[in-house]
Structure formats: C-alpha cells, structure tokens
Amino acid sequence: KRVVQSSDLLNDTVSQLLSQAVLAHRFQSEAFAAVSVDEVTKEVCREVAVAALQQQVEVAYLGQESITIDGDAFALKQMIRNILENAIKYSPRGSAVTVSVWYEAGRVFCRVSDQGVGIPSHWVPRVFEFYRRFDSANMAGGVGLGLAFVKTVVDKHHGVIECQSEEGRGTTFTLHFP
C-alpha cells in the first residue's frame, strides 16, 4: 500500500514539475490572447466531475455571462484545475465544492469554496510557497507545488489570489484579474 501511495505521489510531483516547465516556456514564447474565463472554468468543472462524484463530492458551477481576459488559456485552465482538484481532495463525502465566476467593478473574479478540513490560520500566508504544506491526519499526499504553481499563473496575469480558511469548515480561494 505504501509503495502504491509513494508511486502516486511521485507521479503527481513529476506531472506538476512538467506543467511548471511547460508554463515557463509558454510565458516566454506565447503572446496572451482573449480567454473566456467562464468557458475554461466550466470545462475544468466538467473534466473533474466524475472524479468528484467518485469521492461523493458535488461540484457546483455558478457563473454569469461570458467573461474574457487577456491571458494564456493553458495556464489558466491548469490553475483552476489545481485549485478545484485540491478542493475536491480535501472535502468530506457528501459535501459540495462551489465555483463562481463573475465580473464586478472592472475586475474578473473566480472563487472556489469547499467544506473540507481547512487550513490552520498560521499556515494561510504560506500556502503559496513552493514545497510548503502542513501535515494533518486528514490531509492527502502532496509536496507543496500546486498552490505555488497557481500563484505563478495569477502573478503572470497581473491578478491577485486570496485564501480564507477555517479549520474543520473549509477553504475559499478568490482570484481576481484586471
């Protein structure tokens, strides 16, 4: 069992490192273009729906009209996928993960909220650092690359990401872009 878990962890780590390398290359060589944030978000929600249902977690998309920003569609999709997969992974059976996209006051917002284990308050400011993760009996495996990857994408798109969390009640990530 431990060999399988270690193998899965190694596979996830290599995948995230490869995604980071692809992202770095894309940011150096690809020009930003119009990206429909709502369509990318809905696509990711559909792609993770089966895995979420297997864990008995519902994914609910709450979006408004078509909303676009200048960006890299691949990077934005990977960013949303990472946040959403984490939300599903750390949510208890029978709970819901909500994903919202909206436009307000000249900014595009995307919010992912779960009802999971939450993050201790002293860890919240450090969740976006590479190789940082806190240990908990309720935590699944990981090496601390995912949210650092997310922060890189947000920064490259001149956005802001905020994390609000309460242990035992869940976590909410809110992203906003010009």
The predicted structure's pLDDT at residue 96: 96
Closest Cα partner for 91 from 124, 57, 121, 127?
57
Q: How confident is the model at residue 173 (pLDDT cuts 50, 70, 90)?
A: very high
Top pLDDT among 58 and 18 is at 58
Range from 27-41, 109-123, 162-176 carrying the lowest mean pLDDT: 27-41
Q: How confident is the model at residue 13 (pLDDT cuts 50, 70, 90)?
A: low
Token pair for 173 = 């990530």
Mean pLDDT value across residues 1-21: 71
DSSP, collapsed to helix, strand or coil, labels residue 9 as helix
Q: How far is CA 18 from CA 12, 128, 149, 164, in A?
A: 10, 18, 11, 29
- Global pTM value: 0.81
Mean pLDDT value across residues 96-102: 96
